[in-house]
A and B are shown apart, each in its own frame.
Chain A
């Protein structure tokens, strides 16, 4: 016993190092697996508060461009509204959103990152605003990511520029669907995999969300096809998609809550069992 205690005292800094290193390693591994609730994230009052106060200042710098983007969106919505009153019901967009009720919550991005392998954003809405894990996040131009951790006032978002994220998407033209992954090379491009060889694709085709998961509604724009190639087994296409969204400068986003998500998920799970 005496020897064991002596050993511990003699090597206390090494043992402490091993302990702390393994704690750090556990945190790291957790951050590499999708949606494990993490202890260390920026959605807490300290880092959230600091990022918020800095963002309050930064907002003024981007005011002009962000105003333009909002104005663009406004005019788009306005044109939609007027075209709808002509044909009373069932325009194309209307029919896609019908049936499932989605609730949109506006939010502001406090921290944006796009140069790492696993990029995570911080927004200024949290569980106080009834934001929960697995809600979708979009901007006026297209897809942004999925909510990961929430605190009272803040929430972290797994960006689509994250090697762990997988979002179901389809070709707007032919409805062939695949999953979106990111190869961590450029923040302007994302990869769409698992599109079967039989699909006819062309450069410039539009990619939209498939609506197969309960997170995003159907037909949210993602990007256009930049280039494509067959994978090594020659069965599936890997498509490089140029994003509509400029992920390096996003400020105003919307969090989407699918009010029927719980019902849909229990139904799907019970069918699977």
Chain B
């Protein structure tokens, strides 16, 4: 149990530092940045106290906001995907999730990709809607959401493959 807490604290800190010191400065094609820090929310243990999980996600978002001076956009997006995570899990993994025996290291790649894609798209859509905060710029919001999502999904999948513990 202690090692799980240690792993996730470590992951929290590493992801925040990586996000604010490296990934926020990529600016691919001028404005496309990946938001890898939500990997913490994506890979949080499935058996959890929901209240603690939502609070943790909020603080994760708020920390990113503090570093990037963006008000509360990351906090809002992070807390939203933390709240809807059980529904998305049920949708993408189906029966496997219901039996409560699932582990992220041994699920099918296809359903994992579905899960990542849905979560990341929702997160990025909320993020950019709040950041741009103008309904007349909906095209810009969707465009940013799409491009950044592709970038984030690729990075998330790569990160899970590289750091998987399968020997």
Q: Which residues of A are in contact with B by a Cβ distance under 8 Å? A: 12-14, 16-17, 20-21, 23-32, 38, 40-42, 44, 46-47, 50-51, 54, 113-118, 120, 122, 156, 186
Contact = CB atoms under 8 A, between A and B. Distances in A.
Given A32-B133, A115-B27, A21 B76 contact: yes
Contacts of B130: 25, 28
Interface of B is mostly: helix
B58 A20 contact: yes
Contacts of B55: 16, 20
Contacts of B67: 42, 47, 50-51
Contacts, number: 99
Contacts of B61: 24
Of the candidates A24, A27, A31, the one having the most CB atoms from chain B within 10 angstroms of its own CB is A24
Given A13-B83, A27-B71, A31-B70, A117 B131 contact: yes
B70 to A, nearest CB: 7
8 contacts: A13-B51, A20-B79, A24-B76, A25-B76, A31-B69, A50-B21, A115-B30, A117-B132
A17 B83 contact: yes
A27 to B, nearest CB: 3
Given A24-B58, A54-B21, A115-B27, A47 B71 contact: no
A40 B65 CA distance: 7
B49 to A, nearest CB: 9
The 7 A-B pairs at the shortest CB distance, nearest first, are namely A31-B71, A27-B72, A24-B76, A24-B72, A120-B69, A24-B75, A17-B83
Contacts of A14: 83
B15 interface: no
Nearest to A158: B69
A40 B71 contact: yes
Interface string B78-121: 01101100000000000000000000000000000000000000
B128 to A, nearest CB: 9
Given A23-B58, A26-B72, 18 more contacts: A14-B83, A16-B51, A16-B54, A17-B82, A23-B72, A24-B76, A25-B130, A28-B73, A28-B130, A30-B72, A32-B71, A38-B71, A42-B69, A50-B17, A50-B20, A50-B67, A116-B131, A186-B30
Interface of B: 17, 20-21, 24, 27, 30-31, 33, 50-51, 54-55, 58, 61-62, 65-73, 75-76, 79-80, 82-83, 130-133
Nearest to B29: A115
B133 A13 contact: no
Contacts of A25: 72, 76, 130
A180 B70 CA distance: 22
Nearest to B72: A27
Nearest to A41: B69
Contacts of A32: 71, 133
B65 to A, nearest CB: 5
B75 A20 contact: yes
Contacts of A44: 66
B4 to A, nearest CB: 21
A14 to B, nearest CB: 7
Contacts of B80: 17, 21
Contacts of A24: 58, 61-62, 72-73, 75-76, 79
Contact of A47 (B33, B66, B133): B66
Contacts of A27: 65, 71-72, 75
Contacts of A120: 69
Nearest to A54: B21
A162 to B, nearest CB: 10
Give the residue among B71, B80, B82 with the most A Cβ atoms within 10 A: B71
B90 to A, nearest CB: 15
Contacts of A116: 68, 70, 131
Contacts of A114: 27
Of the listed residues B20, B62, B72, B132, the one surrounded by the most CB atoms of chain A closer than 10 A to its CB is: B72
A234 to B, nearest CB: 22
Contacts of B58: 20, 23-24
